[in-house]
Amino acid sequence: MLDLSQYNSLGAALRDALERWRDETCLIEADRERENGRLTYRRFKEAALPLARWLQANGFMPGDRAAIIMTNQSKWLVSAYAIFYCGGVLVPLDYKLSAREHIELLAHSQAQVLITEHHLWRAIQQSGNFRDLPARTVLVTEVPADAGLADAKRWEECKDSGEPEFITRARSDWACIVYSSGTGGRPKGCVLTHENYLEQCVSLTAWFPFWPGVRYLSILPTNHAIDFMVGFIGPFVCGATVVHLRSLRPEFVRDAFPRYKITYVTLVPLILKNLEKGLRARFEALPAGHRKFLNGLIGINRFFARQRPRLWLSRILLRQIHRAFGGELRAVFVGGAFMDPATLQFFFDLGIPVANAYGLTEAGTAVTVNDFNPFRADTVGRPLPGMEVKIVNPAADGVGQVAVRSKTVMSHYLDDPELTSEAIVDGWLMTGDLGRVDPSGHLQLFGRAKNMIVTEGGKNVYPEDIENAFDGLNVKELCVFAANYVWPQRTLGGEELIVVLHAESGQEIQADLLADLNARNRRLPDFKRVRGWVRWDEEFPRTASMKIKRNVLAEALRSKLDRQTAVTEL
């Protein structure tokens, strides 16, 4: 691994990595059963530098912002490196957002360059707010031969010969603007510096090292802070290989493990549970005798792994299971949302350690990770090296708000000093999550102090961001809440959104109103939908500028209504 303390920027570290590991494979891209191609570090460099040169020739200046909206593929990382090489600030956006949301975030970030895929660009061009697009240079890949692009350019043609100028950056300079949420409401653009990333990389690789030959399966979107780190920066500075899949159907993901002998992977709880379901179904289909024998082997494995994983033993005892995962899997990272301890234990007993982690974009990704010494299914692990975690205003049982201090904590929220001063207090990042640190230093989470949910797919959803979907609904006023914010649960499970409806005086909540609500709800992506509604007959408390006082309204709801009886399922 490169000694990252010697570097000031991601661009400089990556530049040396491409030289040092030049003959190693850095990227494998597969599409279903087909392999699209492999790149060595040398070839990666040969693909990126002509693009960097082209960007410079077309007016891209140090400090300029360039957005990438792409599915996980080689061109994502090649483009990102070209941007860093030019001293640019990368704005990685979630390709799963709608075109309208893409434009809103592009406008907020003021990205001068946009690099995207054809199907996404087509949607952006057709969006009603297209004229708000700030990018003056648009590069599009995977364009059908007969498709017109108007002013946009084909990514593949954006190459200039000659040596681009490498632009030096300071550690405190911005590396990325990463949106942790927010379109309809208040965009939260986390400004992360080169130091944030370099320090995070040192922390994570101290516990989970990469080296040439390690293969990381990149499934989470690369714009996601965790995949950007463990599916790009971490492996690259260590000479490891990243595997991209163009199709994330469960069957192709399963096939990728043995085909590419995967070492590490990051999954969201939804996918891990899907894998568990598949394995349990296969176990149950075994004849009774086989099943009993398997259970015996699992019991032996559990006994020997009670202090720490013993992968070599697990691979012998449970050979067929490990073979299905490629036989070289060292750890599965999971985080971003509540993970059922029973699922974690299920995999650990099979000799597949799942490193349950806790992190947030504002903290530069992971804060705590389960280090397996010993394995604990009931916590999100211990703070990574360089992370300080404290509990603010703990109650008698030790539970309070989790705060984090580290060199990895973001610089600020883009163009929002007010939000920044709420989030970072005296150098501590206030996470808005409730937790307790147990005597062994493990962090346990107990729900959220903030009005938001995190889906099983790992997406943050802020209620105020989706309220505009219900504008014009025939009620006097409405407000969307995270149900667990109104009625705190002391658990991270059962996270769902609800809408509070205040009807015009004397009106009932009629079937046609609910039909309209349902129709609007259905137009939202699944993870943003409200799951129930609550009738409320009092005026919403509001500020002088007529904003809803959400905390006051939540308190009123909590004191007067019971969740079980008040929420009607949609």
Q: In terms of CB distance, is 396 or 511 closer to other proteins?
A: 511
246 near other proteins (CB under 8 A): yes
248 near other proteins (CB under 8 A): yes
250 near other proteins (CB under 8 A): yes
569 near other proteins (CB under 8 A): no
Cite the DSSP H helix spans in 6-141: 10-20, 41-57, 74-85, 99-109, 118-126
The per-residue DSSP string of 294-335 comes to: HHHHHHHHHHHTSSS--HHHHHHHTHHHHHHTTS---EEEE-
515 near other proteins (CB under 8 A): no
Q: In terms of CB distance, is 246 or 261 closer to other proteins?
A: 246
What whole-number distance in Å separates Cα of residue 239 and Cα of residue 219? 19
Q: In terms of CB distance, is 112 or 343 closer to other proteins?
A: 343
525 near other proteins (CB under 8 A): yes
Print the binding letters for residues 418-437 with other proteins: x by CB under 8 A, - otherwise: --------------------
Q: In terms of CB distance, is 25 or 72 closer to other proteins?
A: 72
Taking residue 453's Cβ as centre, other Cβ atoms within 10 Å add up to: 26
270 near other proteins (CB under 8 A): yes
Bridge partners, 390 (sequence order)? 403
Spatial neighbors of 356 by CB under 8 A, at least 6 apart, are 334, 335, 339, 344, 369, 370, 377, 379, 380, 381
282 near other proteins (CB under 8 A): no
Q: How far is the CB of 251 from other proteins (least distance, A)?
A: 6
What whole-number distance in Å separates Cα of residue 272 and Cα of residue 338? 12
What whole-number distance in Å separates Cα of residue 148 and Cα of residue 60? 24
Q: In terms of CB distance, is 280 or 319 closer to other proteins?
A: 280
Q: How far is the CB of 173 from other proteins (least distance, A)?
A: 34
Q: Which of 157, 526, 537, 562 binds other proteins (CB under 8 A)?
A: 526
By the 8 A CB rule, do 70 and 115 touch? Answer: yes
Binding range to other proteins, per CB under 8 A, among 266-274, 299-307, 330-338, 543-551? 266-274
Q: In terms of CB distance, is 96 or 153 closer to other proteins?
A: 96
Binding range to other proteins, per CB under 8 A, among 105-113, 269-277, 433-441, 482-490? 269-277
By the 8 A CB rule, do 353 and 371 touch? Answer: no
What whole-number distance in Å separates Cα of residue 407 and Cα of residue 197? 9
122 near other proteins (CB under 8 A): no
What whole-number distance in Å separates Cα of residue 431 and Cα of residue 424? 9
Helix (H, G, I), strand (E, B) or coil at 242: strand
290 near other proteins (CB under 8 A): no
Helix (H, G, I), strand (E, B) or coil at 140: strand
Q: How many residues bind other proteins (CB under 8 A)?
A: 21
25 near other proteins (CB under 8 A): no
Write out the residues near other proteins by the rule CB under 8 A: 32, 71, 95-96, 98, 119-120, 246-251, 270-271, 274, 456-457, 522, 525-526
